[in-house]
Amino acid sequence: MTSGSGDLTVAQYLSSNGIQVTPVGRDAAAALGVVAHTPAGWEAAPAEQFPGATAVLVETSLVENGFAPNAVLLVGKLSTAVDSGPLLDCSFTDARLMPGWSEASTSVEDLGPWPARFLAGSFTAEQLELNVTTRYAVLGVDEQYLVQLTVTILAGQAEKLAFDVAAINDGLFDLG
């Protein structure tokens, strides 16, 4: 039996319930139907640059102040089955702890058969105003996988990158 989520972060929830997460590589994630859709102009960073990440995408032609728009996909196999609702609710806590967090939208809609959460907002880091979207989902029944896709761009690039951000978020799952 797992303890409730309350105001825990995802990491705190997993830790307090003794749940280990084993990173899943790009090919294994694709076999689950989880892919990092790469819009034109974006490129996949070499896997060895980001150990533990399933995929990292960057838009290198729009680097400003040392920051490149990026998308980070994390897929991890959970050591034991969980009640996805309380775990996924912790994703809201994660975002709300960001410095200067301003929430734009949230959603608790499932993605196909999988429970999911989505939120969008902005925060400030190292004097940069950043817009972020994050989608969490739990896939599987007996063997479960926690999926997190976070897309981060400079706030000033929101209009220019709106299509790309939507394409990355909408292309996350191949549920066909």
Average confidence (pLDDT) per 10 residues, the chain, 176 residues: 65 94 93 90 90 94 93 96 92 90 93 91 93 95 93 96 94 67
pLDDT of residue 3: 44
pLDDT of residue 4: 47
- Answer positive or negative: Cα dihedral of 81, 85, 87, 91: positive
Round to whole Å and give the CA distance between 54 and 28.
9
pLDDT of residue 1: 36
What does pTM read for this prediction?
0.92
Distances (CA, A) of 106 to 18, 27, 131: 28, 30, 14
Q: Beta strands of the chain (E only): which ranges?
A: 21-23, 43-44, 55-58, 70-78, 102-107, 116-125, 128-139, 145-154
pLDDT of residue 6: 61
For the record, the structure tokens of 127 come out as: 């004097």
Q: What domains appear along the chain, each with residue ranges and CATH number?
A: 10-170 (3.40.1000.10)
Place of tokens 């220019």: 160
Round to whole Å and give the CA distance between 23 and 5.
22
